[in-house]
């Protein structure tokens, strides 16, 4: 029987006794295995899997996310990413892990789009790295920091679409140990897919066998020309 990766373990259940799980939309207390309360569950819409053609390698990157980047879920992600609410990583990670199964792949590694050293110093934590760690734990797959960011870029959400695509060029490098691995690539929010495509290209160039993208949320309104 397949393990239900989105269910919390006993350790996490004990933590929930002290700090109850909260609805990821409205913040109301929910049961440990739930992500949204009954009222909000109807508001959550699951996005279609996104596909991006990788310019340099010609491969197609498939990206999945458990929910659209909207409403209360968007606010929750904002609190996680910009207001230091790191505690949300556990619940978000388990929600995302459930979306890794439809890829039908046996992953060798969970990697993530990392912050630059400067951004990591400024923020104090890598939001995608924390999510990747929780996803790796839920799936029983090793977390591997296969990617490094080699130059500073402007924050993607402050830029227009065309700027985002050039902003993310040639900024990631994958380590040699990537060769031959099937990699689950984690990022927080997918908009144009520019960051994910750059990371996936770096992984393929280092010899990855297959790369699949997993995000917490998908901003679907902004369609990328890179979509296929
Ligand atoms: Zn709710």
pLDDT tens-digit readout, 170-211: 789 999 999 999 999 999 999 999 999 999 999 999 999 999
Of 100, 91, 97, the C-alpha closest to 13 is 91
**How far, in Å, from the CA of 92 to the mean position of ligand 1?**
15
- Ion ligand 1: residues, CB within 5 A, are 23, 25-26, 28, 37, 40
For the whole model, what pTM was predicted? 0.84
CATH 3.40.1280.10 assigned to 44-218: no
State pLDDT tens for residues 116-167.
Answer: 888 888 888 899 999 999 999 999 999 999 999 887 766 666 667 666 666 5
Distance 20 CA to ligand 1 centre (A): 14
Q: How far is the CA of 185 from the centre of ligand 1 (A)?
A: 29
Instruction: State in Å: Cα 211 to ligand 1 middle.
Output: 33
Q: How many angstroms separate the CA atoms of 5 and 224, rounded?
A: 31
Q: How far is the CA of 77 from the centre of ligand 1 (A)?
A: 14
Instruction: Report how far apart, in Å, the C-alpha atoms of 70 and of each of 31, 82, 113, 124, 223 are.
Output: 23, 16, 22, 26, 15
């Amino acid at each position: 029987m397949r393990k239900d990766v989105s269910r919390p373990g006993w350790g996490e259940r004990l933590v929930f006794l002290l700090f109850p799980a909260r609805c990821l939309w409205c913040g109301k207390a929910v049961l440990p295995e739930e992500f949204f309360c009954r009222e909000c569950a109807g508001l959550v819409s699951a996005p279609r899997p996104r596909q991006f053609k990788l310019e340099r390698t010609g491969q197609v990157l498939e990206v999945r996310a458990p929910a659209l980047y909207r409403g209360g879920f968007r606010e929750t992600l904002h609190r996680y990413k910009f207001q230091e609410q790191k505690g949300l990583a556990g619940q978000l990670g388990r929600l995302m892990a459930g979306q890794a199964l439809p890829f039908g792949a046996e992953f060798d590694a969970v990697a993530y789009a990392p912050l630059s050293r400067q951004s990591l110093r400024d923020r104090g934590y890598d939001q995608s790295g924390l999510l990747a760690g929780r996803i790796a734990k839920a799936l029983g797959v090793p977390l591997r920091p296969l990617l490094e960011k080699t130059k500073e870029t402007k924050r993607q959400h402050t830029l227009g679409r065309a700027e985002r695509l050039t902003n993310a060029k040639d900024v990631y490098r994958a380590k040699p140990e990537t060769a031959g691995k099937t990699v689950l690539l984690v990022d927080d929010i997918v908009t144009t897919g520019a960051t994910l495509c750059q990371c996936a290209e770096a992984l393929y160039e280092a010899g990855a066998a297959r790369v699949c993208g997993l995000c917490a949320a998908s901003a679907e309104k902004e369609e990328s020309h890179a979509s296929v």
